[in-house]
Amino acid sequence: MNVLQELFADILERKQNPSAESYTNYLFTKGEDKILKKIGEETTEVVIAAKNNDKDELIYEVADLAYHCLVLLAEKGLTVADVEKELERRRGKLSKVGDRKEIENL
Ligand SMILES: N=c1c2ncn([C@@H]3O[C@H](COP(=O)(O)OP(=O)(O)OP(=O)(O)O)[C@@H](O)[C@H]3O)c2ncn1[C@@H]1O[C@H](COP(=O)(O)O)[C@@H](O)[C@H]1O
């Protein structure tokens, strides 16, 4: 398992076995709107870090965003494997990286 899969397994574990100290559990308890709000905030922080050309901050904020996106997948009953499958499908179908027309037609 890679680190994203391991993190996702931790998140699912929190969903199945709630713990009072868990931030992940706090998000599940608050529900979808709270998770979406956090994704909005973290996305803004990614943009600010990039515009400031602050690479350490960018890594930190992308990690925060990735975590909150995984919580959203779990909330929706999806898995990190679903996203991996979609990315693999694109790799198989696209002849050139960044070919926007092909991406739109997938
Ligand atoms: N990867 C993460 C992770 N990334 C970010 N965060 C939390 O996300 C929050 C983001 O910070 P903010 O300042 O935006 O939010 P906040 O003010 O704390 O919270 P809000 O009041 O805004 O909701 C922080 O509380 C971080 O601790 C994470 N919390 C947990 N994990 C992992 O999730 C798994 C389960 O952890 P627990 O939920 O802590 O058991 C473990 O593998 C953890 O490493």
CATH number at residue 10: 1.10.287.1080
Instruction: Compute the distance from residue 16 Cα to the ligand 1 centre, in Å.
Output: 17
For 62-82, how does the pLDDT look when each residue is reduced to its tens digit (9 = 90+)?
999 999 999 999 999 999 999
The domain in which residue 96 lies consists of 3-105
Instruction: Compute the distance from residue 32 Cα to the ligand 1 centre, in Å.
Output: 16
Neighbours of 67 (CB within 10 A): 20
Q: Would you say the ipTM is above 0.90? A: yes
14 Cβ below 6 A of ligand 1: yes
Provide the pLDDT confidence category of residue 7 given band limits of 50, 70 and 90. Answer: very high
64 Cβ below 6 A of ligand 1: yes
Number of domain units in the chain: 1
pTM equals: 0.91
User: Could you tell me which of 82, 103, 101, 80 has the C-alpha nearest to residue 91?
Assistant: 103
Q: How far apart are CA 106 and CA 103, in angstroms?
A: 5
